[in-house]
Structure 1
């Protein structure tokens, strides 16, 4: 009868339906020397639970962490300060003629822009004039459209 009860408790234990009192009964049964031969498989598992229950953690747990100084952020800040120093210490070179594409006088800049736009316009007009023959192609395709209309009308006549 006890063996039948243990088997039922094992089935409940595997399904996760046992209470703490029933689990204590199982641990007590498997801690004995004599266990039913077909239940010997469970004995090491419950023996492990008993041994594991007696284990204790003996190391000290530090409550305060040591604060380490991160030197990476100091190097990042130093680079940022140097870059800002170089940026703000540069002399104002906005009116020097040796810089490429800069002009001191607005009239000089306007003359340069109009000269560049005139050159672009002349090259564009030359290119557009060589493409004028495409208008003739458009006229030819329009003539082909008239031929399609003639073909449609002849097909209507001959089908009837």
Structure 2
């Protein structure tokens, strides 16, 4: 074959556009002793493809797919979890005779409500304080990043 034809077929081969007949021509060319020196680098590739063409898969394929019990196992686990949660819920319900959370006078109820709201306010203030800390750290890091990127832009313009 002509060198130009082989080079054209190689380009088509690496672009994935060759037919089976053209690939056979390439394999035949590279298995012959008259390969051009500049194309010698492709000889191992086509030699490997020719040798692998003779291999066949001869192991038997299983026709039955194995049964999967994963779906039933997940259903059983869900039922067991639900049963456990219901048992726990029923054992923790207070009896009807206990008067938890009731106060004898409105002043006592007011004082307890004030304590609860004060505790809630303190916890919210702690959370807000940590958010302010995170915001300050974020501002510091963005200033550093933008200073670095601006200094790189200035250096690249020069």
Higher RCO (CA 8 Å, separation ≥ 6 residues): 2
